[in-house]
Amino acid sequence: MNTVKGTLAQKSGALIHVRSDDMVVEALRQMRDNRVRSVLVIDDDVLVGIVTQGDCAIKVLLPGLDAKQTRVSQVMTGNPVTVKPDDQLEGCMTMMAARGFRHLPVLDAGKVVGVISIGDVVKDIIRDLERNVGDLMGYVMRDGPGG
């Protein structure tokens, strides 16, 4: 199984984030403009939280709050679980499934270097499976019994 670092290498380098004192509408704009479902919350180069579309819908929309007047700090998940670049994707996938996470911030020596999503993990697994099938097909067609 591959590492978080390999998955990050497949993604664009853009780190999408807001500050905790930004209004929720800014987080939503970032999500819309970058076609993502979560943004990191970073204050002074320190990860302080993560905010998702679900957070915005459940904690702002449903109670009837105004996204233009509600701070990200009021709806974010503070002190999120993080992973490191050398962590194995299999462990990340297990944690995501067990704890209901769809996004995991990646820290390298305390510095935010990216985010992996459950979609990223699934894509990586599919790439591995395709490579394995290709290798097996090559073996059967060239080197296998009767080949």
pLDDT value, residue 124: 86
CB proximity list for 88: less than 8 A, separation 6 or greater: 1, 2, 3, 4
Report how far residue 142's alpha carbon sits from residue 101's, in angstroms, rounded to the nearest whole number: 43
Query: What is the pTM for the complete model shown?
Result: 0.84
Helix (H, G, I), strand (E, B) or coil at 141: helix
Tens digits of residue pLDDT in 78-125: 999 999 999 999 899 999 999 999 999 999 999 999 999 998 888 888
Contact yes or no for 106/120 (Cβ under 8 A): no
| Domains assigned to the chain | 4-143 (3.10.580.10)
Question: At residue 146, does pLDDT exceed 60?
Answer: no
Matching residue, tokens 């990200």: 72
**Phi, psi angle pair for 49, to nearest 5°:** 180, -175
